[in-house]
């Protein structure tokens, strides 16, 4: 099956054995109509306006990768009741230079994941607030707050919880429809 749309995936946890990355990989496996492109963000220098005169190569690479994608998926933990700094930095780097944001109009979705019980809801909504400002039409339903995530995977990192598998499959279908809707709307607006 050919994959018609490319989704840039940004994982807010840099851990090698990140449960957020496991959730993103499980969602990828359950959403065969989309091609997931995992974009590494750990090497992005912190945003500093002074660097825009000669942007770091990592910024240029990142901006090109996001610009080339049809949509973006953020999968984030919650650190100290907020968004991980590495993910916020990626959002900031992509939003500049002013007037040339790679996020503008790109359909998106957020999955927040925690090993605890809160579903990382505060990080999810903190990110959602930034995406509203950046004109990223973000999937609102179904909301994806995944709790107790360590119990969802076996020792090999495979998703074994059937309820979560069903939820992620439905989320993936909704996200694909969301992308299709916004891609068609964007094409119609350009043609007008």
Q: What's the whole-model pTM score? A: 0.93
pLDDT above 50 (res 40): yes
Q: Tell me, what DSSP letter sits at residue 157?
A: S
Top pLDDT among 114 and 132 is at 132
* CATH of residue 94: 3.40.50.360
> CB–CB of 84/44 below 8 Å?
no
Q: What is the pLDDT of residue 9?
A: 98
Domain span at residue 46 reads: 5-191
> CB–CB of 110/76 below 8 Å?
yes
How far does Cα 185 stand from its chain's mean position? 21
Give pLDDT tens digits for 66-115: 999 999 999 999 888 989 999 999 999 999 999 999 999 999 999 999 88
State the average pLDDT for the chain. 92
Provide the pairing of β-strand 145-146 with 71-76.
Answer: unpaired
DSSP-derived 3-state class of residue 106:
coil
Closest CA to 74 of 34, 124, 32: 124
Closest CA to 30 of 174, 146, 180, 150: 174
Closest CA to 162 of 177, 173, 151: 151
Tally of domains in the chain: 1
Q: What is the pLDDT of residue 20?
A: 95
Top pLDDT among 39 and 78 is at 39
DSSP string, 5-68: EEEEEEES---TT-HHHHHHHHHHHT-TTEEEEEPP-TTPPPP-GGGGGS--HHHHHHHHHHHH
């Amino acid at each position: 099956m050919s994959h018609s749309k490319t989704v840039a995936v940004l994982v807010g946890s840099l851990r090698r054995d990140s449960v957020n990355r496991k959730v993103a990989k499980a969602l990828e496996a359950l959403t065969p109509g989309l091609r997931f492109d995992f974009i590494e963000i750990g090497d992005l220098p912190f945003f500093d306006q002074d660097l825009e005169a000669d942007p770091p190569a990592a910024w240029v690479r990142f901006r090109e990768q996001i610009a080339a994608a049809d949509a973006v998926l953020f999968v984030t933990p919650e650190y100290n009741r907020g968004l991980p700094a590495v993910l916020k930095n990626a959002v900031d780097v992509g939003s500049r230079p002013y007037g040339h944001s790679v996020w503008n109009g790109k359909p998106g979705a957020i999955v927040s994941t925690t090993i605890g019980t809160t579903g990382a809801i505060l990080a999810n909504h903190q990110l959602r607030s930034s995406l509203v400002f950046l004109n990223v039409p973000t999937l609102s339903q179904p909301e994806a707050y995944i709790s107790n995530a360590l119990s969802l995977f076996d020792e090999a990192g495979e998703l074994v919880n059937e309820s979560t598998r069903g939820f992620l499959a439905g989320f993936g279908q909704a996200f694909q429809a969301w992308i299709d809707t916004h891609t068609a709307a964007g094409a119609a607006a350009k043609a007008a």
